[in-house]
Amino acid sequence: MNIKQEIFTLVGGRVKMRRGHYNPTSDAVWLAAFAPRGVKSALDVGIGTGGVSLCLLAHNPDTHITGIDTSDKMLSACRENAELNGANVELINADINTWRTTRTFDLVITNPPYFNGTPAKHNAHHNVDLGTWVARCIARVRPMGTFCIITDATTIACVIAEMSKKLGDITILPLFGARNVAERVLISGRLGSRGISVMNRGLPMNYDPVLRDGLTITDVLSKLT
């Protein structure tokens, strides 16, 4: 057995992941890089195998992360990946639509299991549309906390419509594919803020300073201005 072939890395080698039936894509790296720095607590909704959370910890090592998922198989894989990185992540088997909790977090982050509006197979049993998913996530954000999401570009109207009900300081960052068309969109907002919305200049999805060098979006945009 070749251990090296079973492990791949993200964020310029700072995060190690075991290969399995579901491997995080660059979406996980982008979402973690988009999140604010210095948050004390974060909730990863639909944590899967832990790609977003472990990348987030690479940027914010002191953040306490709670992750929820409805799949025991995913949670088990996430636990293994956390141990591989020496990370402590609180894992809970829960559905965001029915989770009975009063807990709120400085940051709620999600890479929802949707592609063109259709739930991915491993989370199809959530049986909830994207707008409801976003609303349930926002309900777990504490006052002046932040909600961050990466979503397919075709769903941006639905996501922003739901976010605008309770969030301000909405920030949008398109990610462009090979045909210079936005394929993914990063969106964040703050609960209780009345700040205006901002559309940042887009970046290519294969942008090495984020994917290979491990820079945050804040780092990148400051260098481009």
Per-residue pLDDT, 76: 96
Q: Which residues contact 225 (CB under 8 A, 6 or more apart)?
A: none
Per-residue pLDDT, 119: 45
What is the token pair recorded at 174? Answer: 């398109």
- Of the candidates 130, 106, 95, 102, the residue with the CA atom closest to the CA atom of residue 191: 106
Q: Give the chain's domain count.
A: 1
- Of the candidates 168, 163, 166, the residue with the CA atom closest to the CA atom of residue 110: 163
What is the token pair recorded at 27? Answer: 């979406």
Per-residue pLDDT, 129: 87
Helix/strand/coil (H/E/C) assignment for every residue in the chain? CCHHHHEEEECCCCEEEECCCCCCCHHHHHHHHHCCCCCCEEEEECCCCCHHHHHHHHHCCCCEEEEEECCHHHHHHHHHHHHHCCCCEEEEECCCCCCCCCCCEEEEEECCCEECCEECHHHHHHCCCHHHHHHHHHCCEEEEEEEEEEEEHHHHHHHHHHHCCCEEEEEEEEEECCCCCEEEEEEEEEECCCCCCEECCCEECCCHHHHCCCCCHHHHHHHHC
Give the structural domain span for 148.
Answer: 3-224
Per-residue pLDDT, 77: 95
> pLDDT, tens digit, for every residue of 18-72?
998 677 889 999 999 999 999 999 999 999 999 999 999 999 999 999 999 999 9
Domain containing 89 — which CATH number?
3.40.50.150
Residue 123 is which amino acid? N
Q: 214, 11 in Cβ contact below 8 A? A: yes
In a 13 Å sphere around the CA of 200, the CA atoms on its Cβ side amount to 23
Each residue's pLDDT, cut to its tens digit, for the chain (225 residues) gives 444 558 999 998 999 999 986 778 899 999 999 999 999 999 999 999 999 999 999 999 999 999 999 999 999 999 999 999 999 999 999 999 999 999 999 999 999 975 444 444 444 445 578 999 999 999 999 999 999 999 999 999 999 999 999 999 999 999 998 888 899 999 999 999 988 899 988 999 999 999 999 999 998 988 886
What is the token pair recorded at 95? Answer: 């559905």
Per-residue pLDDT, 21: 64
In a 13 Å sphere around the CA of 11, the CA atoms on its Cβ side amount to 26
